[in-house]
Chains A and B, each alone.
Chain A
Amino acid sequence: MFDLNLRNKIIILGVLAALVPTVTGSLLVYWKEHRVNVQMQKAIDNYSNQLIDRAADDAYSTVEISNLMIQKYVDHSLSMARALLKYGGEVHFAGPNVTWNAINQFNLKTNAVSLPRFMVGNTWIQPNPDFKVKTPVVDEATDITTATCTIFQRMNEAGDMLRIATSVPNKDGSRAISTYIPAVNPDGKPNPVIATVLSGETFRGRAFVVNNWYMTAYEPMRNGKGDIIGMLYVGIRRDAAPVMRKILAETQVGKTGFIYILYATSSGASEARDLKGECVISKDAKYDGQNLLNEQDVNGKYYIQDILQRAVKLRPNESGEMHVMLRNSATGEVTHQIIQYQYFKPWDWVIIAQAPQSDFDEARENTHRELRSLLYLSIGGGVIGLAIALWLALFISAHIARPIAQVTVIAGRIAEGNLLEAGQLAGAETCSLTKKVDDGTGSVAERFSKTRDETGRLFCAVRTMIDNLYSLISQVKSASIQLISTATQISATSKQQESTVQNFGTSTSEIAAAVKEISATSQELLKTMDDVTIVANQTGSQAASAHTSIGGMEEAMRKLAQSTGTISSKLSIINDKANNIGSVITTITKVADQTNLLSLNAAIEAEKAGEYGLGFSVVAREIRRLADQTAVATLDIEQMIREMQTSVSTGVMEMDKFSEEVRRGVDTASQLGQQFGRIIDQVQALTPRFEAVHEGMQAQSQGAQQINDAMLQLTDAARQSAVSIREFNLAAEQLHRAVQGLKEEITKFKVA
């Protein structure tokens, strides 16, 4: 930039003046375009989310309305079935029993039960699994209302309810009879349906009947006495509402988005089928019946599981939002999908509206295109402006720059030292006196000096400067020759002094190194001593802790010995007691013997008394038996006592042996303790000796250090002197060189 001449600078100034606004404008447009894009994206995102949310809302409302309608229809069907039953006559039990293989609908266990016949009026509701044969009441109800209908018979007091007639089909197409609802669920809680019906109320709600979800109503059936002897059921398959199915399946969200519905949990269904994640309704029935739980996005995340988990926590009509990147399995293309979901709790359905974000991209692309063309236009205008500015700058710069260029040539001659030629070009007085110059140049100089503007005044000033310079240089030339000889003398003297000082510095450095080595060695020794001391201390403390442990062990051993002694004494007490019992037994034996003898004599006397002694002889026999029993019992006790005594004496012997061992353990422990004590004493005695050595070492080390410091100071002083002399020397040399340089410079100027 600074190498450019004046003319070029002016041209650049002009071009920049045109270029800056153009570039700024373009940048502004570019930056604004980015902002506009972001705002547009926000607005479109907002709009698309709302649109999809609206679709999910609409679907939720559709399902809600269907739910209400089906509920109404269930009520209607129930009253129809009830009317049919009433028309048939009073329900009651009668006649010979029927045997049923009743199957628990939860755990599928079968047990045979014998139940009385279930009568409606005079009609017996017979077990009938075949749809080709009509079953009264239930088939009539189904024909009229299209709802499924079942009659349950109460099996027992608990309230287990057996399906005895039904229009609900099994998987194999037969009637689903002889299964029963137990009064208690497998989890131990009372079954809500049975509990409600037994309390005399009608149960309404969803139920998983046989293989499908139904909207149901269960009503108690009473006999003439008002007892609940069964229940009446009607139900409509929940997904039977075809209009709702059609509306939801055909709903389109945005351009290509759609709606699908999944089961949120598997609660309430049978154990055999896990409904969680199974698709109920989808666009064009594409996924119906499939389980979508394991669908993944491009990152491998199970996003359907995420949705189900979050959806069940939503309030009614509240939406959840999710963005996923999905790979189209057919084309392999990755699209950004916007998902809004809601949870319809009564049916355990999660309603999901999904649409790709690309459907909403058109508006944003249009805006982007317009802004791009604005950017290109501003750049084009800028280029034209630049061309005009360049041409103007060329014209103006030529006018300003020419006189300045002439002055520059003159200044260049002065710089070269060619004052003579410079003076001629400038038309100076000094030059014009000594030498004649050609008229052409002089006339040009005359023309510039006459101009009254800044360039003219500059020209005159240069001319005056050349005159003054001429006289100055003549004087300096003569002075410099004298200075050179003086400088040479100074330089020689200082060099001599420098070599002397350098010698001194070298000897001090050698001494210092030797001292440093001594100091390092002693410090190392000191460190080693420190280590030894630490090790000795550690040994001491470890021995001390071992000593404490041994002490504890000894104490424990002593306690053990005491306890053993106590147990031994307890055992000998037991032995004494056993002996006491033995003497008591002897007494009892004697008493028994006496009693026996007494009874013998009594019997003999009674015999002698003949008829009168009969009663007495019975008493005598009884007394004898008692005595015998006593004797037998006594024998048993004696046996036990003997065994007990044997065990006790064995125990005493074992205890004695044990306590001998414990005593030996105590002795060993105390010996160990003493040995450790001795070790500790020895180690502790070592420590003060180490300290004495340590102090000596430290003193030595300090002394060495002090010598070292002194030597270092000395060396420093020597080095400083050397440096000062060297600096002085350098200064002298510089002076010499400066004078020499001055002389050379001066000779450059040609003055004569």
Chain B
Amino acid sequence: MLALLFTIGTERFGLDASEIVEVAPYVEFLPDSQPHDFVAGEFSYRGAPTAVIDLGLLTGQAPCPPLLSTRIILVRRASPKYPDRIIGLLAEKVTETVTITPAQLNTTDQHIDEAAFKTPLTLDGYGTVQLLHLDRLLPTMVLDLVLNI
């Protein structure tokens, strides 16, 4: 499994590449977009206005600073209300990918918390990386809230 590495606050996270559409640079948001709670704004992705969630704000930490390595991870999400939509996730230090072997996935204790949005993994050369579970991080309720705007 290939995972994209990024940072939120002080923690290092990994996201399964198969869930990612594309990584886009941190650009200026559309002027009429309204920041709201953890939503940083909207930007034009391939002509369509796309909402961007600041993962720092979402996880209750400081917003991501405007740096070159701060990028927008575009993922495809669906809810009963909005069957197929693309959402942007703003994260820091989005510069690396790492391959995670099935063995590494199995050795970790996945039963600590079934509901947690992250699973800690120990990777050689990277230390502890939290594997992010998008469906737990962004439940349908949150998605609807975001996409409704």
Question: Once the chains bind, are B68 and A604 in contact (CB under 8 Å)?
Answer: no
List the B side residues contacting A589 at CB < 8 Å: 68
CB contact under 8 A between A604 and B95, given known A589-B68, A593-B25, A593-B68: no
**Contact between A600 and B69 (Cβ–Cβ < 8 Å)?**
no
Q: Which of B22, B68, B71, B94 has the most chain A CB atoms closer than 10 A to its own CB? A: B68
A140 CB to nearest chain B CB (Å): 83
Partner pick for A607 among B18, B24, B25, B71, CB 8 A cutoff: B18
> B3: shortest Cβ distance to chain A, in Å?
9
> How far, in Å, is A591 (CB) from chain B's closest CB?
11
Contacting residues, chain B, for A601 (C-beta < 8 A): 22-23
User: Does B62 sit at the interface, judged by CB under 8 A?
Assistant: no
A148 within 8 A of B: no
B97 at interface (Cβ–Cβ under 8 A)?
yes
Q: Which residue of A lies closest to B96 (CB)?
A: A624
Contact assessment for B94 and A607 in the assembled complex, using a CB-CB cutoff below 8 Å: no
Interface pair A600/B68, CB less than 8 Å apart: no
Taking a contact as CB atoms closer than 8 A, the residue among B4, B69, B96 that contacts A604 in the complex is B4
A597 within 8 A of B: yes
* Bound Cα distance A621, B4 (Å): 12
Q: How many chain A residues touch B (Cβ–Cβ < 8 Å)? A: 17
Known: A600-B23, A601-B22, A603-B97. A617 touches B2 (CB 8 A): yes
Min CB distance A3 to B, Å, is 149
The answer to whether B17 and A603 have CB atoms under 8 Å apart is: yes
Asked if A467 is at the interface of the complex by the 8 Å CB criterion, the answer is: no
> Is B58 part of the binding interface, using a Cβ–Cβ cutoff of 8 Å?
no
B17, B24, B69: which has the most chain A beta carbons within 10 Å?
B17
A600 to B17 Cα, complex, angstroms: 10
Q: Which one of A590, A593, A597 has the highest number of Cβ atoms from chain B below 10 Å of its Cβ?
A: A597
Residue B20 is within 8 A (CB to CB) of chain A in the complex: yes
CB distance from B90 to the nearest CB of A (A): 14
Partner of A597, one of B17, B18, B20, B25: B25
Residues on B with C-beta less than 8 A from A600 are 4, 23, 94-97
Q: Mark B10-32, 1 if CB is under 8 A from A, else 0.
A: 00000001101011110000000
User: Taking the complex as formed, is A160 at the interface, i.e. its CB lies under 8 A from any CB of chain B?
Assistant: no
- Other A-B pairs, 11, CB within 8 Å; known A593-B25, A600-B95, A604-B17: A593-B68, A593-B69, A596-B95, A600-B23, A600-B94, A603-B2, A604-B2, A604-B20, A608-B17, A620-B97, A621-B97
How near does chain A come to B20, taking the closest CB pair, in angstroms? 5
| Residues of B participating in the A interface, judged by any CB pair closer than 8 Å | 2, 4, 17-18, 20, 22-25, 68-69, 71, 94-97
Contacts of A621 in B (CB 8 A): 97
Q: Are B22 and A604 in contact (CB under 8 A)?
A: yes
How far is the CB of B1 from the nearest CB of chain A, in Å? Answer: 8
Give the CA-CA distance A600 to B93 in the complex, in Å: 12
Cβ contact within 8 Å between B23 and A597: yes
A597 & B71 in contact (Cβ 8 Å cutoff): yes
Contact with B along A595-627 (1 / 0, CB 8 A): 011001101100110000000010011001000
Chain A residue nearest to B2 in the complex (CB): A607
* B97 nearest in chain A by CB position: A603
Question: Which A residues touch B20, using CB under 8 A?
Answer: 604
By a CB distance below 8 angstroms, the chain B residues around A321 are none
B42–chain A nearest beta-carbon distance, Å: 20
Q: Report A632 CB to chain B, min CB distance, Å.
A: 12
Cβ–Cβ < 8 Å partners of A604 in chain B: 2, 4, 17, 20, 22-23, 97
Q: How far is the CA of A608 from the CA of B97 in the complex (A)?
A: 14
A628 close to B (CB within 8 Å): yes
- CA–CA, A608 and B95, complex, Å: 18
User: Which residues from B are CB-within-8-Å of A620?
Assistant: 97
Q: Within the complex, what minimum Cβ distance (angstroms) separates B2 from chain A?
A: 4
In the complex, 22 of the A-B residue pairs with CB atoms within 8 angstroms, ordered by the A residue number, are: A590-B68, A594-B25, A597-B23, A597-B25, A597-B71, A600-B96, A600-B97, A601-B22, A603-B2, A603-B17, A603-B97, A604-B17, A604-B20, A604-B23, A604-B97, A607-B2, A620-B97, A621-B97, A624-B95, A624-B96, A624-B97, A628-B95
> What is the CA–CA distance of A47 and B145 in the complex, to the nearest angstrom?
146
Which residues in B have their C-beta under 8 angstroms from that of A617?
A: 2
Q: Would you list the 7 A-B pairs with minimal beta carbon distance, nearest first?
A: A607-B2, A607-B17, A593-B68, A604-B17, A603-B97, A600-B23, A604-B20
- Give complex CA distance A590, B69 in Å: 10
B22 → chain A, closest Cβ, in Å?
A: 5
For A628, list chain B residues within 8 Å (CB).
95
Residues of A within 8 A of B25 (CB): 593-594, 597
Residues of A close to B68: CB separation below 8 A: 589-590, 593
Residues in chain B near residue A597, CB distance under 8 A: 23-25, 71
B68 CB, nearest partner CB in chain A, Å:
4
Kindly report which residue of chain B lies nearest to residue A599, judged by CB atoms.
Answer: B97
Contacts of B23 in A (CB 8 A): 597, 600-601, 604
Q: How far is the CB of A612 from chain B (nearest CB, A)?
A: 14
B22 to chain A: closest residue by CB: A601
Q: How far is the CB of B118 from chain A (nearest CB, A)?
A: 20
Candidate in A597, A604, A628 with the most chain B CB atoms within 10 angstroms:
A604
Shortest Cβ distance from B40 into chain A, in angstroms?
Answer: 18
Nearest CB in chain A to that of B19: its residue: A604
Interface positions of A from 320 to 335, Cβ below 8 Å from B: none
B2, B23, B97 interface centre (most CB from chain A within 10 Å) = B97
Which residue of A is nearest B1, CB measured?
A607
Interface set, chain A 234-272, CB cutoff 8 A to B: none
Return the chain A residue nearest B20 by Cβ. A604
List the B residue with the shortest CB-CB distance to A620: B97
> Which residues of A are found within 8 Å of B71, using beta-carbon distances?
597
